[in-house]
Amino acid sequence: MKDISEKILSEIKELRELIDKYNYFYYAKDESIISDYEYDMLTKKLEKYEKEYPELINEFSPTQLVGKLDKNSKFKKVEHKVPMLSLANTYGINDIKNFNDRVLKIIERDNIEYVLELKLDGLSISLNYENGKLKRGVTRGDGKIGEDVTENILQINSIPKYLKENINIEVRGEVILPLDKFKKINKERIEKGQEVFANPRNAAAGTLRQLDSKIVKERELDCYVYYLVNSENYNLEKHSQSLEYMKKLGFKVNDNYKIVNNIFEITDFIKEWEEKRKELNYETDGLVIKVNEYMFYEELGYTTKSPRWAIAYKFPTTQVTTKLISITYQIGRTGVITPVANLEPVRISGSMVRRATLHNFEEIARKDIRIGDIVFVEKAAEIIPQVVKPVIELRTGEEKEVEMPTICPSCREKLYKDENEVALKCVNNSCPEKLKRKIEYFVSRDAMNIEGLGPKLIERFINEGYIKNICDIYKLEDKFNEISEMENFGIKSIENLLESINKSKTREYNKVLYSLGIPYVGKFLADTLSNYSKNIVFLMQMSKEELLEIDGVGEKVASSVIKFFQDENNREIIEKLKQIGLNFEFLEKDNQDEDLKKLIGKTFLVTGTLKNYKRSELKDIIEKNGGKNVSSVSKKLNYLIVGENPGSKFKKAEVLGIPIINEDEFFKMI
C-alpha cells in the first residue's frame, strides 16, 4: 500500500464533506450554494484522488452516488426497477475524443454511430404506464429509490395521461421550466416580496417537489423524454428509433437531436449549439453524446454512477462563486457612483475576472450583499460581469455590511441623491474623475472620434492641468512645447493627436450633440434630435411639451435634455465649442434627396474586420443611404456584410440562407 500523507487524507475528507453539503442543498432543498462548474471541479478533484488511491474509495463517497434522496420529504418512496443513473460529464473537447477512442477500442471497431441531444437543465423523472395509462411519476432520488410525485406529474400538460397504444412502458425524461414562465414567476415573486428562484432548474425541482399540485399546474412545467427503459421489449435496435417511437406514442421528444458518425460532426454540433441554445425558450447546460446501437451497450457497460455508452459535454460556464473582498466606487461621466466589487480572481468562460458591477446601492441592499460574502458572479455574453447574489448559507459572521459613501472619492465633495432616482451622484462640475470620464466619452469613436487620446493620457493631461474642461482639448495646441517635454511622448504622436483633434471640428452636428453626453441621449436619440432641430439654438429653446412631440422622445429624455441645457456650466461649454468651430447645425448636404437613397427598406449587419473602413464608418454610410443597421442575424436580415474573421454571425447567416456580401459588393449597391 502506498503511503498516503496526512495532508491528502484530510483533503479527501474535506472534499467529501463539502460535496455532501452542496448535494444536500441541491437535492433536498433545490438550492445551489456553489456554481455547477465549481461543484464539478471539486468532484473531479476527488475522483482524481480516488483513482490514485483506490483503497480509499467507499460506497458512501459522493463519487459513487447518484444524487441524493431526501429521506425526510413527505413523498412516498418508490424503488426503481431499473436504476436511474447520472452521466459522466466533461467540459473539454479532448475528453470527448478520449471517450470516442475508449468506446471504439472496447467494441473493436473503427467507427460508430452516435446520437447527439441537447442536455436540458431540469430534473429527471421516470414515467410508468400500464395498458397505455399513466400510473406513476417518480423522481431520480438516489438512483435506486425516488419520490412518488404522480399527483404533480398529472399537472404537466406535455406528459400524456394516455398513450396511443395500450402498452406497459417506462420512459425517462427531464422536467423543465421554460424561460418565459421562469421570468414570469420571478417577477410575481418580487412583487409579492418573496425570494426569487436562482435558476430554472432549481425552480423546476422546487415546483415538482412540493405538495400543492395546484401550484404545479399554475407554474406550467414542461417535459421532454429521452430514454426508453427495456427497449429490447419493443423490437428496437437503436436509441434513435426509441426516440421516434416515443414520439409516436404521444410523448414530447426534443427534435434537436442528430445522428452522427464521427468526432468532427460532434465538434461541429457543439459549436453550432453554443450559440443557438441562446435562442431556445429553455435552458440547456450541454449536450449528451450517446452510442446509437443498443447491441454495444452491454459490452460498454456501466460504472456505479453512469453508463459508459454516453457522456455529457457541458458548455463553458457563465456563473461562478467567489469571495467579495472589497468595494470601490466608480464615478461615471454624469457623476453617477457605481459600486464595483473587487473579487478573489476567478475564471469565467476562459478569462480571469477580478471585478464585477454591483449596479447601485439599492441593489446591494435588496440582495443583502456584504463585504466578505461568497457571491455568485455572472458573465453573460458581452456584458460586464455582475454580482448576482450572496450565498447566505456560507456566512461566517465576519461579513461587513456595505455603507453608502457620503462624499465623492475623487473630489471629496458631498454626494447627492435625487429622491426619484436610485443613483448616487457627484454634482461637482470640476470633479477630476468625472471630467476624465467625460473626456473619454467625448473623444470616443462614435462621438468626436479623436484618436490618440486614451484614458492614461487624459489622466496625465488633467493632472498637469492642461485639461480642465472639454474645450481645453482644442487648446492643447498651445501647450505643444510643454507636452513634447512629457515623458514617453514623441513629437510624431503629438502631431498626430493634434491633427486628429483638428479633424474632429468637421464632425457633423448629430455627432457633436451625442458627444456632449446628455444623460439618456444615445446615438439614436442624438440623430433624432439633431434631425428635428437642425440647429442647437433651436433645440435649446424647445419646451418639454415640444420635445415630447418628437417620435422616440419620452418623459425621461425630455426632462434630461431640458435639465442639461438649463445648466449654466453646460451652456458655457457649448458657447465655447461653437467659437472653436464645432458643428452645431445640420449641414444640408448630408440630407440627400430621399429618392436617391438606394438602400431604403433594407437591413444590414456588418461583421468581421473590414479592408478599408471601420465598422462604424460603414454603418454610417448604410444609414446615409437609407438602409438600417441591425445587431443580430435573423430571418429578417437582408444582407450580411463580412470582413475578415467574421465568427458566429457568419455561420448563422449561412444556415439561414441570408445573402452574404463583402465590402466591394456592398459599394456596388450604392
Ligand X SMILES: NC(=O)c1ccc[n+]([C@@H]2O[C@H](COP(=O)([O-])OP(=O)(O)OC[C@H]3O[C@@H](n4cnc5c(N)ncnc54)[C@H](O)[C@@H]3O)[C@@H](O)[C@H]2O)c1
Q: Which is nearer to ligand X, 25 or 489 (CB)?
A: 25
Enumerate the β-bridge partners of residue 289: 116, 311
- Can residue 378 be called a binding residue for ligand X (CB under 6 A)? no
Cβ 428 to Zn ion shortest distance, Å: 5
Of 85, 149, 201, the C-alpha closest to 159 is 149
Of residues 89, 199, 231, 528, which one binds ligand X by CB under 6 A? 89
d(CA 534, CA 509): 8
Query: Is the four-CA dihedral 633, 638, 643, 645 of positive or negative sign?
Result: positive
Residue closer to ligand X by CB (options 33, 156) is 33
Q: Phi-psi bin for 649: left (phi > 0), alpha (psi -120 to 50), beta?
A: alpha
d(CA 373, CA 322): 8
Is residue 360 within the footprint of ligand X (CB under 6 A)? no
By the rule CB under 5 A, 443 interacts with Zn ion: no
Minimum gap (Å) between residue 414 Cβ and Zn ion: 9
48 is catalytic: no
Residue type, 433: E
What is the residue type of 241?
A: Q
| Bridge pairing between strands 424-425 and 336-348 | antiparallel
Q: Is residue 174 part of an annotated ligand binding site?
A: yes
Our finding on whether 49 is near ligand X (CB under 6 A) is no
To the question of whether residue 412 is assigned a binding role by annotation, the answer is: no
How do beta strands 603-607 and 639-642 pair? parallel
Full DSSP string of 156-221 = -TTS-SB-SS---EEEEEEEE--HHHHHHHHHHHHHTTPPPPSSHHHHHHHHHTSS-HHHHHHHT-
Contact 584, 536 (CB under 8 A): yes
Q: Residue 574 Cβ, how far from ligand X at the closest point, in Å?
A: 54
**Catalytic: which of 2, 21, 97, 119?**
119
With CB under 5 A as the contact rule, the residue among 149, 408, 447, 610 that binds Zn ion is: 408
- Per CB under 6 A, 174 contacts ligand X: yes
Hey, which residues between 304 and 333 contact ligand X (CB under 6 A)?
A: 312
Is the Cβ of residue 39 or residue 586 nearer to ligand X in the bound state?
39
d(CA 435, CA 433): 5
> Residues 196, 186: contact at Cβ < 8 Å?
yes
Q: Is 40 annotated as a binding residue?
A: yes
Nearest CA to 91 out of 42, 41, 32, 43 is that of: 41
Q: Which does 431 bind (CB under 5 to 8 A by kind): ligand X, Zn ion, none?
A: Zn ion
Give the residue, chosen from 15, 16, 36, 434, that forms a contact with ligand X under the rule CB under 6 A. 36
The response to whether 426 counts as a known ligand-binding position is yes
Contacts of 355 (CB under 8 A, 6+ apart): 340, 341, 342, 343, 385
Beta bridge partners of 659: none
- What would the grid cell of residue 322 be? 467567489
Residue 87 partner contact from Zn ion, ligand X, none using kind-dependent CB cut-offs of 5 to 8 Å: ligand X
The set of cell numbers assigned to 163 is 398513450
The single residue listed with the C-alpha cell 410575481 is 188
The partner in contact with residue 226, picked from ligand X, Zn ion, none with C-beta cut-offs of 5 to 8 angstroms by kind, is ligand X
Residues 506-525 touching ligand X, rule: CB under 6 A, are: none
According to the binding rule CB under 6 A, does residue 117 interact with ligand X? yes
Question: Which amino acid type is present at position 521?
Answer: V
Identify the residue whose cell numbers are 461562478.
320
Q: Which stretch binds Zn ion (CB under 5 A): 155-163, 187-195, 400-408, 558-566?
A: 400-408
Interface pick for ligand X out of 12, 15, 16, 22 (rule CB under 6 A): 22
What residue numbers does the annotated binding site cover?
36-40, 86-87, 117, 140, 174, 290, 314, 408, 411, 426, 431
Q: Give the residue numbers marked as catalytic.
A: 119
The site for ligand X (CB under 6 A) is made up of 22-23, 26, 32-36, 39-40, 67, 86-87, 89, 117, 119-120, 124, 174, 226, 288, 312
The site for Zn ion (CB under 5 A) is made up of 408, 410-411, 426, 428, 431
What residue numbers does the annotated binding site for NAD(+) cover?
36-40, 86-87, 117, 140, 174, 290, 314
What residue numbers does the annotated binding site for Zn(2+) cover?
408, 411, 426, 431
